[in-house]
Amino acid sequence: MSKRDYYEILGASKGDDAKAIKRAYRKLAMKHHPDRNPDDKESEAKFKEATEAYEILSDDSKRQAYDQYGHAGVDGSAGGGFGGGGGNGNFSDVFGDVFGDIFGGGRQQRNGPQRGSDLKYNLELTLEQAVKGAEVKIRVPTLNECDTCHGTGAKDGSKPVTCGTCHGQGQVRMQQGFFSVQQACPTCRGQGSTIKDPCYSCNGQGVKEETKTLSVKVPAGVDNGDRIRLTGEGEAGTRGGPKGDLYVETHIKEHAIFERDGRNLYCDVPISIADAALGGEIEVPTLDGRVNLKIPGETQSGKLFRLRGKGVVPVRGGATGDLLCRVMVETPVKLNDKQKAILREFQASLKGEKHSPKKKSWFENVKTFFE
């Protein structure tokens, strides 16, 4: 009886990459694994079939031979599932490759030097600091190597001893139904050794919590969520391992005048009815000082005026952004009798619709809506 196509078994195609092949096998293995389907011969057969297919297609040389010559090119290469076939395949290798992340990483050894953990620090900046750059002092709580035991965790004059449970391997093998897996040793927690006489200064941890002051150089143009890496300023490693890194993530405080959108800045500028109607020149702020902005006559509320080059220089390079000023026509308040009289006279002079073009079109839209 001829064998089924390996791609067909996994539900994959020849154009799929290694990740797609692995994903397809994992899905089938989880579905048909004998532990999930006890006494189900059909599921066991499908599981063996999928494992054989994955062993061939996950190996570049075997897959190339199979793609070129079919089953004839890989006869004897497949492991035949769990038992036989005279193949060279190793089921535990195949299964561990796909499911190693579920069962603790398989063969990973932890009794050697371990790199320290990376740390994250949220840094609040003013808009001016973010746009122009700054040097900021921060205080960071961190774990540093114990200066008493120099990171060993053992009392002076003693040293860690090999773990009697895992014999220094850091891992123990345990049986889980149909197959065996490795996990971190519960006695030494994967370290491979235990400490009988712990250091009095760090209680056997090898590290101590301290607070240090660091200087962070913030480049000009950073934005919310940008990260600055300080190499070697993270937590101390264990057993002589290197320190981790510190990642400083920037967060920009709300500004009283400006809003930022990428490389551009926005601000609202109040103007009087007279300036909006007749035009004029007003003074507006920028991050580099004050500038004059010309307002043409008959300017409507909400109109945007662009001041080129008055925005932000992006931290990753590119053209400088702009400052966009949104004029807001302000209604006068606390008028005296004379001012009110002048406005009433002005109001009476506005006959016809030529003075309010938007008002005319708005009422026409309202009329159409109701009709």
In the chain, domain spans: 6-99, 119-252, 259-370
Q: Is the pLDDT of residue 144 over 60?
A: yes
DSSP lists the bridge partners of residue 190 as none
**Helix axis angle, 91-99 relative to 18-32, nearest 10°?**
100
As a whole number, mean pLDDT of residues 281-295 equals: 92
pLDDT digit string, tens, across residues 153-196: 787 777 778 887 887 777 877 765 556 677 778 877 777 777 77
User: Cβ distance 135 to 125 under 8 Å?
Assistant: no
Instruction: Please compute the mean of the pLDDT values over residues 235-258 and round it to a whole number.
Output: 87
Placement of tokens 């996990």 in the chain: 183
Answer whether residue 274 shows pLDDT above 80: yes
Which residue in this structure is represented by tokens 């932890």? 110
Residues with Cβ < 8 Å from 157, sequence gap 6 or more? none
| Position 275 pLDDT exceeds 80 | yes
Q: Which SS3 state, helix, strand or coil, does residue 338 take?
A: helix
Q: Are 22 and 30 in contact (CB under 8 A)?
A: no
Which span out of 42-46, 80-84, 149-153, 203-207 was modeled with the highest average pLDDT? 42-46
pLDDT tens per residue across span 64-119? 888 888 887 777 555 444 433 334 444 445 555 555 544 444 444 445 577 888 88
pTM higher than the cut 0.75: no
pLDDT at 79: 46
Percent of the chain with pLDDT over 90: 33
Q: Regarding predicted confidence, which is higher, 231 or 235?
A: 231
Strand partners, 139: 213
Give the closest residue to 247 by CA, choosing from 125, 359, 119, 76. Answer: 119
Q: Superfamily assignment of 6-99 in CATH?
A: DnaJ domain (1.10.287.110)
pLDDT > 70: percent of the chain? 84
Per-residue confidence (pLDDT) for residue 271, from 0 to 100: 93
Give me the chain's average pLDDT, please: 81
10-35 pLDDT per residue, tens: 998 888 888 888 888 888 888 887 77
Rounded CA gap, 178 and 92, in Å?
A: 11
- Residues in CB range of 162: below 8 A, 6 or more apart: 168, 192, 193
Q: Quick one: which of 222, 221, 230 has its CA closest to 248?
A: 230
Contacts 24+ apart (CB under 8 A), 308-311: 310/265, 310/286, 311/263, 311/264, 311/265
3-state secondary structure of 56: helix
Which pLDDT score is estimated for 146? 82
Region 139-146 average pLDDT: 81
The region of weakest confidence among 87-91, 352-356, 361-365 is 87-91
Homologous superfamily, domain 119-252: Heat shock protein DnaJ, cysteine-rich domain (2.10.230.10)
Which one is predicted more confidently, 217 or 192? Answer: 217
- Which residue would you say has higher pLDDT here, 136 or 106? 136
Assign domain 259-370 to its CATH superfamily. Answer: Urease metallochaperone UreE, N-terminal domain (2.60.260.20)
Query: Which of 331, 327, 332 shows the shortest CA–CA distance to 282?
Result: 327
Confidence at residue 228, expressed as pLDDT on a 0 to 100 scale: 94
Residue linked to tokens 């937590």? 235
Rg over CA atoms, the chain: 36
Count CB atoms within 10 A of the CB of residue 19.
8
Residue 65's identity, in one-letter code, is A
Q: Which of 80-94, 163-177, 243-257, 349-363 has the highest mean pLDDT?
A: 243-257
Contacts 24+ apart (CB under 8 A), 228-233: 228/123, 233/119, 233/140, 233/142
Residue 205 tokens, joined? 């941890």
User: What pLDDT score does 86 carry?
Assistant: 39
The dihedral formed by the CA atoms of 358, 360, 365 and 371, expressed in degrees to the nearest 10: 170
Report pLDDT for 2. Answer: 62
Burial degree of 220 (CB within 10 A; 0-12, 13-18, 19+) = middle
Q: Is 312 exposed, middle or buried (0-12, 13-18, 19+ CB in 10 A)?
A: buried
